[in-house]
Amino acid sequence: MSTTDQDSNGEDGLAQGPDGDKPMAFLDHVGELRARLVRIVLGIFLGFFACFYFAPQISAFLRLPLDNAWESAGMADEAKLQALAIQDPLMVDVRVAVTAAIFLTLPWIFFQVWLFVAPGLYAKEKKFVIPFVAVSVIMFLIGSAFAFMVVLPFVYEWMMEYSTGRGEEIQLELNNYFKGTTRVLLAFGLVFEFPLAVAFLAKAGVVTEKVLVRFWKVAVVVMFVLAAFLTPPEPVSQMLMAGPMVVLYFISIGVAWVINPSSKVEAELAVYDEADEDDEDGDGDGDADDSE
């Protein structure tokens, strides 16, 4: 192979593997992952100080699903959140500021994720950094918006109507409300990244639509288990998370089929198998000639 071929990585950028690809030991990968995580944490840390000053305004915004559900349920006055410990208001402001910092630094976070996987990509694939970051941020925001505007108001209103129907007086706790709300927003944001993750794995040849179809029953069970861990301990929010996860899974099957259909993968494997057989036949003939 000439030096020119090595430098150009082939005319189409796909001939000799990823540009600058170097074998890395497991500890090297761990070290690279740690470096990216440190940069992500530092970005969130800086964003925290920018958001902490606006914590009261952000908290008021995060109360909207509760206030709307409170009004829709026909409750008197307005919803009041009780602080059961003297440090609860401070800890709530910290939690709210950290959550806001994560949303604020989403482009930086996904850019670091891209830099972690970029060394194993081809030259053409490395040009998709901006679409990857943009789509990642958009999908995360869509998932969080769905939780904020649909899931949380519905869950809160349903639980209020259920409690008042039993004649119970509702007393809301400050820390629990913001803990559950921020966790649901982040969880739905991550869940909506699933089609993008599948698209990336399909492009890398790791999964195909046939693999996803084959294991859909196992995937559904795993999704319901994850929804149980990521949502408050009540069935409605768990169903409202598991349902979109199942829908996104089947959407991902279509994404995998479009990006890298299994027929294409099987055809490529058949070509490689034929090439290996030809090489084996050639080696066998050569050995026979040498023996003669």
- pLDDT, tens digit, for every residue of 9-66? 433 433 344 555 555 666 666 777 888 899 999 999 999 999 999 999 999 999 998 8
| Averaged pLDDT of the chain | 78
Of residues 127 and 90, more confidently modeled: 90
pLDDT of residue 2 exceeding 50, the answer is: no
pLDDT of residue 276 exceeding 80, the answer is: no
Token pair recorded at residue 170? 């509702």
pLDDT of residue 112 exceeding 50, the answer is: yes
By the 8 A CB rule, do 204 and 257 touch? no
Q: What is the pLDDT of residue 102?
A: 95
Counting residues of the chain whose pLDDT is more than 70, the rounded percentage is: 74
- Please, which pLDDT band fits residue 3 given cuts at 50, 70 and 90? very low
Q: What is the pLDDT of residue 157?
A: 85
Token pair recorded at residue 248? 């996104």
Q: What are phi and psi of 54, to 5 degrees?
A: -100, 20
Of residues 10 and 222, more confidently modeled: 222
Of residues 189 and 227, more confidently modeled: 189
Q: What is the pLDDT of residue 143?
A: 92
76 SS3 class: coil
Show the CA angle centred on residue 31, arms to residues 29 and 36, nearest 5°: 95
pLDDT of residue 68 exceeding 50, the answer is: yes
Q: What is the pLDDT of residue 105?
A: 95
| pTM of the entire predicted model | 0.76
Q: Which one, of 262, 261, 277, 221, lies nearest residue 245 by Cα?
A: 221
Q: Which of 118-127, 182-191, 239-248, 254-263 tops mean pLDDT?
A: 182-191
